[in-house]
Amino acid sequence: MSAKKRETASFVLRFRQKIFQNENNESDVQWRGNIRHVQDGDERRFSTFNEVVDFIQHKLADLTIEAIEEKSPEEQRGILAKSFDLWKKMATAYPKIVLETIKDPKAGVEHIQDQVSQQVSQVSDMISSKLDPDYWKPASKSDLQKVADMVEKLTREVNALHKKIERLSDK
């Protein structure tokens, strides 16, 4: 595999809309789809956004771990901490991105692509340069708990938005 392919993670998302009558005999909609990792062809079905995020996180973690195998333990911790920061930023920015994407899907997708490209580029730069191990600290349990809390809050907010969209589409 070429070096460029080992540094790249591309995903194809395919969404399908299912409109149905719910238990209250009201029209309802559910989004499902497939996500495929372009480089290895691995593909999964999803019915929630969390499943998409889990799939992407797994693939990016594998990519990062493979890229840092020959680094010192201190450098590995620093790079992994930087990679972890990417997911904290995404969890914080996601609700705004979702709203923007609903308003203007094309601009929203371009915005997401730009943000992810910037973050991946930063992590790639970190991998290829020597780190000062004293500068980085590994994620603490409280950092992990904060991210878990943010993801939980984000999930509630996305579900609330979904319900609002359903109510608006019923009008």
pTM above the 0.85 mark?
A: no
Whether 87 has a pLDDT exceeding 80, the answer reads no
Q: Give, as one character, the DSSP assignment of residue 34.
A: E
Q: Which tokens in the block code for residue 165?
A: 């969209």
Provide DSSP, 57-101.
HHHHHHHHHHHTTTS-HHHHHHHHHHHHHHHHHHHHHHHHHHHHH
Confidence class for position 34, pLDDT limits 50, 70, 90: very high
| Domain-wise residue ranges, the chain | 50-170
Angle at 27 between CA 26 and CA 28, to 5 degrees: 110
State the pLDDT at residue 127.
59
| Rounded Cα–Cα distance for residues 94 and 98 (Å) | 6
Mean pLDDT over the full length of the chain: 76
